[in-house]
């Protein structure tokens, strides 16, 4: 049984950390101002501006910020500044018992996918795949539609995604229900063969990615197939694959051809074109709650992740 964190209220204190790559200070300050505009008080991780090559500080520093935010009873939610790379390096040393004892909102995407998966499967906490403060909120492309996704943290709202947001395709019709899991395709593949290997049986699997050529998307989906992770899913939700174009001048399949091949092979109710991922607007969704994917009506309904 998964645990839903408590909803936010105005005046609550929330934490901000950078568990992967270094953060952009100027963008992060804009993201913090957004959280404050929601009536929240913000506590910044003490190592958030540290740098260690392509990492936001040494593993111990990033791990400390994450564990301290879960341990702090004043902090009601934890928002990631950005993704990049590095979360898998700290997953083995996270205090999952601490997280289980102190369930709270955990929010991010991209490289954060590894932590979403490990936290859900090791501590039973529902987490949130949503826009991040530096890499999304702090940029000029930030969308009011994306901003509205944060309401679900205050109002215990179910997420209902349909074509009022953007056009949806249903390459395989039907209706499926199950736990909603997934995230960034590359990071899902990196869980294979680890103690945090993504569990997909009878679940609705969501995938998205950025800056991957069609052959790379093909390689990753093939690896999930060979690992037995796609044959028994209940349904498939395909989010945004941003800038996943082939290198010019080389023989290639298109991204649509690659995705179509695996969608047909999986043959479960499928929705594609969802604005979830490295895109604007970017609709935030809870991971670990029950969802209904209705490809007949081109609608995705995800149960609230808040108690």
Q: Could you tell me the CA-to-CA distances from 81 to 31, 136, 140, 156, 212 in Å, in that order?
A: 8, 9, 16, 23, 22
Q: Which helix (H) or strand (E) holds 64?
A: helix 59-71
- Burial zone of 144 (CB within 10 Å; 0-12 exposed, 13-18 middle, 19+ buried): exposed
In the set 208, 212, 213, 282, the catalytic residue is 208
pLDDT digits (tens, 9 = 90+) for 156-192: 889 999 999 999 999 999 999 999 999 999 999 999 9
pLDDT digits (tens, 9 = 90+) for 28-84: 999 999 999 999 999 999 999 999 999 999 999 999 999 999 999 999 999 999 999
Q: Which residues contact 79 (CB under 8 A, 6 or more apart)?
A: 14, 15, 16, 17, 31, 35, 107, 108, 132, 133
In the set 81, 118, 134, 278, the catalytic residue is 278
Query: Which residue, 289, 291, 244, 296, is CA-closest to 270?
Result: 296
What is the percent of the chain with per-residue pLDDT over 70, rounded to a whole number?
A: 100
Longest CA–CA separation in the chain, Å: 56
Q: Which helix (H) or strand (E) holds 242?
A: strand 235-242
245 is catalytic: no
Rounded distance, CA 169 to CA 293, Å? 12
In the set 21, 81, 110, 134, the catalytic residue is 110
278 is catalytic: yes
pLDDT digits (tens, 9 = 90+) for 194-252: 999 999 999 999 999 999 999 999 999 999 999 999 999 999 999 999 999 988 878 99
Q: Is the pLDDT of residue 1 over 80?
A: no
The pLDDT, as a whole number, for residue 250 is 84
* DSSP for 135-177, written as a single string: IIITSTT--HHHHHGGGHHHH-PPEEE-TTTS--EEEE-SEEE
């Amino acid at each position: 049984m998964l645990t839903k964190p408590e909803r936010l209220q105005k005046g609550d204190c929330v934490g901000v950390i950078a568990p992967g790559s270094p953060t952009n200070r100027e963008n992060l300050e804009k993201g913090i101002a957004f959280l404050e505009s929601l009536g929240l008080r913000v506590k910044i991780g003490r190592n958030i501006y540290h740098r260690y090559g392509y990492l936001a500080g040494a593993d111990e520093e990033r791990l400390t910020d994450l564990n301290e935010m879960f341990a702090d009873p004043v902090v009601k939610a934890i928002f990631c500044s950005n993704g990049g790379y590095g979360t898998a390096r700290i997953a083995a040393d996270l205090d999952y018992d601490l997280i289980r004892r102190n369930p709270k909102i955990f929010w991010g995407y991209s490289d954060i996918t590894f932590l979403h998966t490990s936290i859900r499967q090791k501590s039973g906490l529902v987490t949130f795949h949503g826009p991040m403060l530096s890499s999304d909120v702090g940029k000029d492309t930030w969308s009011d539609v994306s901003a509205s996704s944060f309401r679900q943290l205050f109002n215990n709202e179910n997420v209902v995604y349909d074509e009022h947001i953007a056009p949806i395709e249903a390459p395989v019709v039907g209706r499926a229900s199950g736990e909603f899991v997934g995230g960034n395709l590359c990071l899902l593949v990196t869980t294979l063969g680890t103690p945090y290997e993504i569990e997909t049986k009878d679940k609705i699997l969501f995938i998205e990615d950025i800056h991957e050529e069609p052959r790379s998307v093909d390689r990753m989906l093939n690896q999930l197939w060979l690992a037995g992770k796609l044959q028994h899913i209940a349904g498939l939700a395909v989010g945004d694959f941003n800038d996943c174009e082939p290198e010019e001048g080389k023989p290639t399949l298109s991204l649509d051809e690659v995705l179509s091949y695996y969608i047909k092979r999986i043959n479960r109710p499928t929705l594609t074109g969802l604005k979830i991922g490295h895109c604007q607007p970017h609709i935030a969704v809870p991971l670990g709650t029950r969802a209904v994917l209705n490809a007949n009506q081109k609608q995705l309904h995800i149960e609230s992740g808040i108690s």
